[in-house]
Amino acid sequence: MSYDDVFERMRKRALRIMRDIMSDFDEMEAWMRSMVDDLEEEMRPEQLFEERLKELRSGVLSPLISVHDRGDHLVIVVDLSGSDPRTVDVRLTRDRIAVRAQIRSEALRKAYGQVSWARKVSYYSGEQVLPEPVDPRTAKSELKGGVLIITVRKASS
């Protein structure tokens, strides 16, 4: 076998490898595009914007609620910044949490200044389905700096 044959085989093999790599890149690009399309489909920025405008017009803000699974219990964190701690009302059932709290007017003035629509905002109100059933009787809550933290045991099956 001559050197030319060896180099020709190496060249053909390198071309096959490059074709395979390019094919993999094409598949990854198609996958990434479909992911981006799915995200755009789910997020719908114009819908989110409309929801926020609706909140402001109605005077009710949805609090940010996040739920963290810690094995045998859930930790639920609710952002109620600027709320009056005496007005926080939590309704915890086996499968959902609902929260409502009055927003202090001085907190609104500080956050929004003299914006006219801000004077209409008066409370937080929101609800979220929990990822797993819980036993509401085991709930313990703590409100610190406008953040409500609730620890609750999962319901036994």
pLDDT at 50: 81
Tell me if 17 sits within 8 A of 25, measured CB to CB.
Answer: no
* Per CATH, domain 60-153 is 3.30.420.40: no
pLDDT at 114: 65
Separation in Å, CA 11 to CA 1, 5, 16, 40, 66 = 15, 10, 9, 43, 56
Q: What is the pTM of this model?
A: 0.64
C-alpha span between 133 and 95 (Å, rounded):
5
pLDDT at 112: 67
Q: What does the block give as tokens for 98? A: 């609902």
pLDDT at 87: 93
Quickly tell me which residue has 């036994």 as its tokens.
156
Which mean pLDDT values do the consecutive 10-residue runs of the chain (157 residues) have?
84 90 84 77 72 78 89 93 92 96 80 63 90 95 92 89
pLDDT at 21: 87
The SS3 of residue 136 is helix
